[in-house]
Homo-oligomer: A and B are copies of this chain.
Amino acid sequence: MAAKNFLDELKYDENGLIAVILQDATTNEVLTLAYMNREALERTLATGKTWFWRRSKQRLMMKGEQSGRVQLVRDLYVDCDKDAVLIKIEQVGGAACHTGHRSCFFYHLTDNQSLEVTEEPLFDPGQVYGSACGDGG
């Protein structure tokens, strides 16, 4: 009998997706909240690099396949309900966000209840993706 695969224990939503938090393995900075399906998780584990289901392209894409900014998997955790995953990664090229920012969470709530951008982007997404609204590949 084959060993039970932990991917069968996870709870995917009605679209077959599960929320995945990407965290910098060195600094513990939270970089991105993204979604994977089972196949994306399988490829992520098989290749040691993160893969996501891209709704806009309707296919699996390896993060960084366009930009070279791949994410190297260091550790994977699952939460108590098994409906969320946390992956600690090493971000090649420094920036995880398709906007060029290191983290996607670059809007900080100020004391006067408005959002301010906390840091400058590390690269110009227009130069990498051809538009500022790329998928972050």
Q: Which A residues have a C-beta under 8 Å from some C-beta of B?
A: 3-6, 9, 19, 21, 23, 27-30, 32-33, 45, 75-82, 84, 86, 97-99, 101, 104-109, 113-115, 118
Q: How far is the CA of A113 from the CA of B77 in the complex (A)?
A: 11
Complex interface: chain B residues within 8 A of A32 (CB): 79
Complex interface: chain B residues within 8 A of A84 (CB): 33, 104-105
Contact indicator B6/A113 (Cβ below 8 Å): yes
Q: How far is the CA of A75 from the CA of B105 in the complex (A)?
A: 12
Complex interface: chain B residues within 8 A of A4 (CB): 114
Can you list 10 pairs linking A and B with CB atoms under 8 Å apart?
A21-B33, A33-B79, A75-B108, A76-B108, A77-B105, A77-B106, A78-B107, A80-B99, A80-B107, A84-B105
Contact indicator A114/B19 (Cβ below 8 Å): no
Contact indicator B109/A97 (Cβ below 8 Å): no
With A78-B105, A84-B104 known, 6 other A-B pairs at CB within 8 A are: A6-B109, A6-B115, A75-B108, A77-B106, A77-B107, A78-B115
Complex interface: chain B residues within 8 A of A82 (CB): 107
